[in-house]
Structure 1
Amino acid sequence: MSMRTRIFELTDERGVLRTSIAVTLVISSLGIGFGLFSGSFSIVFDGVYSLIDASMSLLSLVAVNLIMSYATTKGLSRKLRERFSMGFWHLEPMVLGLNGTLLISAAVYAFVTAIGSLLEGGRDLEFGWAIVYAVITVIACASIAIVEARANHRINSEFVRLDIKGWIMSTGITGALLIAFLIGFAVQGTQWQWISPYIDPAVLAIVCLLIIPLPVSTVRQALADIFLVTPVDLKEHVDTVAQAFVEKHGFISYRAYVARVGRSREIELYFIAPADGPARTIAEWDALRDEIGDLVGDKSPDRWLTVVFTGDPEWAE
């Protein structure tokens, strides 16, 4: 397999993001160039929007590299590992939240700009070049969205999932522009030519209203991860496992603390042992830890599990 093939490997999260960045940069260059040539602010905005999306995909790629390097103990310097001894999982919700917020902000900005253009009487465009750009971009955006969606069935990455939403948004925006350009081109020289300056901003405003909610769920989940909101399903699973473990081994009670931080699952379990309980060797305590670890499940590099046995409840509070 060549180096180029490995860089853009679609079975790997990082390869998908690299592919997305490369395609986005090409589309961004086309958008800015065609927009300036045709006199379309909407196309220029589309190009700038793609450039912002590329920068966020690059930031996502950096975060993924750090997370995976820490989890697999590969490619990470000793100094960096010592500075971030708790890992880099916290970067994922931060990047996802920022990315989603920027996508929403870009759509809101486009909507406000479209309304302003409508109030100012619209904008005259060179429809021929605008149609050429819109056709190329719609095909490219739709194709990369489909390719990434198929790849993410195996990868199951939040970064890729948000990137797909970004491509869907780009396809929607450019598709609406294409419709507007075709209508504007069709009415040239007819009695309806007066509406052509209004078509582009009107369709763009409608599309923005439809696509603004797309990243909202991602931003909401990212904020929940940042604020360490306890995932209900994971907490219920850990409680069930811990309660059965307490009853089996004769412990008094337990305390469970659970959080989701990006792709990581952080679980802390404290088991309260009776003061007159049987003495155990270190190996026996470790065997109990292995048992509870197997019962909790998900032994991936992204699981952070801490198991503590104590006779003092205050250590568990």
Structure 2
Amino acid sequence: MLNTLALEKKLLTLSVIGALGFALIGIVWGIISSSQMIFFDGIYSFISVILSMFSLFMAQFITKSDTKRFPYGKEVLEPIAIIVKYTVILILCIIAVVSAIQAILSGGRDISLGFALLYSFISTIGCWLVYVLLNKRKAASGFIMAEANQWKMDTLLSAAVLLGFLIAYFISYTPYAAFISYVDPLMVLLVMGYFLKVPIVEMLKAFREVLDMAPSQFIQKNLKEVTDNIQTHYQIDESILRISKAGNMLFIEIDFILNKESKIKTVADQDKVREEISEQTKNLNYKKWLTVSFTNNKKWAGKVIV
């Protein structure tokens, strides 16, 4: 647990430093080359710094125990933080699209191709290296996964910039050189077409967690198999399984409805079942809040007791 938290803090700190470096380079280089695409890349990286620092703060806050105010832990704050993060990115993407359309309608924008090509090459390689590093550890927490997605978007943005400027470079030696001024805003529109999808999809996932909805089918299937095996082995009449996910925490509630033939007779038998469930769900790489109840009357396993 401590190793995971230390890794999360280390990777989020790396993301902050990397984003700050690219932000400063992008903003300055964008102004020098007169490229809105590069300038946007720098602004995006600068906002990434703020968002990464926000993620780092939230990750540290969540790990601090406060059972009086948060009796079920603070993990639900993770999807809320992710929603905030992607909302900012979504707004930034919309602003970039509007600006690009305005540039196209006003006759495009002249750029310095030499500076633009050099920046886009350095940016693509640098962002890809950070993404690879974070992506290898994305299962450690939702924050690291969000950072990895953010750097993936940065890598694709930089790669699109590189491709666009290479095309513009070759066009400059053709009779169509007059169209070079449209390359920069067109690249913004093309890249944003993909960018707009990512924050929307990730926000929907986070909203599912905030609303306490069921997790992925893989998690549900795994836990259903474990529950069914226990039910069959101990001759249990029926079971009710409820699962939700918040951040890196799985909330698992299982109600077993016993009958006279059930092999569970004592508290020790009940604890044995709980231990078996814990062992059989170790392959799910999440923290778990496990509640296992036993009753002879199904009404005590209902949603609402009146």
TM-score past 0.5 threshold: yes
Residue in structure 2 matched with residue 44 of structure 1 by the alignment = 39
Residue in structure 1 matched with residue 209 of structure 2 by the alignment = 225
Pair 1:238-2:223 in alignment: yes
Give CA-to-partner distance per residue, 1:80-107, whole Å, 9 cap, x none.
3322121122122223333334334433
The 3 A distance-change label for structure 1 pair 228 and 127 is same
Pair 1:167-2:151 in alignment: yes
Deviation at 1:225, TM superposition (A): 2.0
- d(CA) in 1 for partners of 2:171 and 2:221? 62
Please report the TM-score for the alignment, with normalisation by the length of structure 1.
0.78
Pair 1:271-2:266 in alignment: no
Residue in structure 2 matched with residue 5 of structure 1 by the alignment = none
Secondary structure of 1:260's aligned partner:
strand
Cα pair 1:165 1:215 within 8 Å, conserved:
no
Say which of 287, 300, 303 aligns to 2:272. 287
- d(CA) in 2 for partners of 1:211 and 1:301? 29
The 3 A distance-change label for structure 1 pair 314 and 119 is same
Residue in structure 1 matched with residue 130 of structure 2 by the alignment = 144
When structure 1 is superposed on structure 2, of 210-219 and 109-118 the one drifting more is: 210-219
Secondary structure of 2:214's aligned partner:
coil
Say which of 187, 196, 212 aligns to 2:196. 212
Residue in structure 1 matched with residue 49 of structure 2 by the alignment = 54
The 3 A distance-change label for structure 1 pair 252 and 35 is same
- Once the two structures are superposed, the pairs formed by residues 14-93 of structure 1 within 5 Å of their partners are 14-67=9-62, 69=63, 76=64, 80-93=66-79
Secondary structure of 1:122's aligned partner:
coil
Residue in structure 2 matched with residue 121 of structure 1 by the alignment = 107
Amino acid in the other structure paired with 2:209: D
Give CA-to-partner distance per residue, 1:20-52, whole Å, 9 cap, x none.
110100111112222333433333222111112
Deviation at 1:159, TM superposition (A): 3.0
- d(CA) in 1 for partners of 2:277 and 2:117? 62
Amino acid in the other structure paired with 1:89: E
Q: Please, which runs of 5 or more residues in structure 1 have no aligned partner?
A: 1-8, 70-75
Please report the TM-score for the alignment, with normalisation by the length of structure 2.
0.80
Amino acid in the other structure paired with 1:48: I
Pair 1:196-2:188 in alignment: no
Deviation at 1:190, TM superposition (A): 7.8
Deviation at 1:170, TM superposition (A): 1.8
Deviation at 1:123, TM superposition (A): 1.8
- d(CA) in 2 for partners of 1:57 and 1:39? 28
Give CA-to-partner distance per residue, 1:227-284, whole Å, 9 cap, x none.
2222334333333333443344344322221112222211111122348989955444
Pair 1:103-2:103 in alignment: no
Cα pair 1:241 1:295 within 8 Å, conserved:
yes
Pair 1:258-2:243 in alignment: yes
Quote the sequence identity (%). 27
- d(CA) in 2 for partners of 1:278 and 1:171? 57
When structure 1 is superposed on structure 2, of 295-304 and 247-256 the one drifting more is: 295-304
Cα pair 1:142 1:167 within 8 Å, conserved:
yes
Secondary structure of 1:306's aligned partner:
strand
Amino acid in the other structure paired with 2:227: A
CA RMSD of aligned residues (A): 3.3
- d(CA) in 2 for partners of 1:316 and 1:250? 18
Aligned residues: 297
Amino acid in the other structure paired with 2:21: V
Cα pair 2:37 2:187 within 8 Å, conserved:
no
- d(CA) in 1 for partners of 2:126 and 2:194? 21
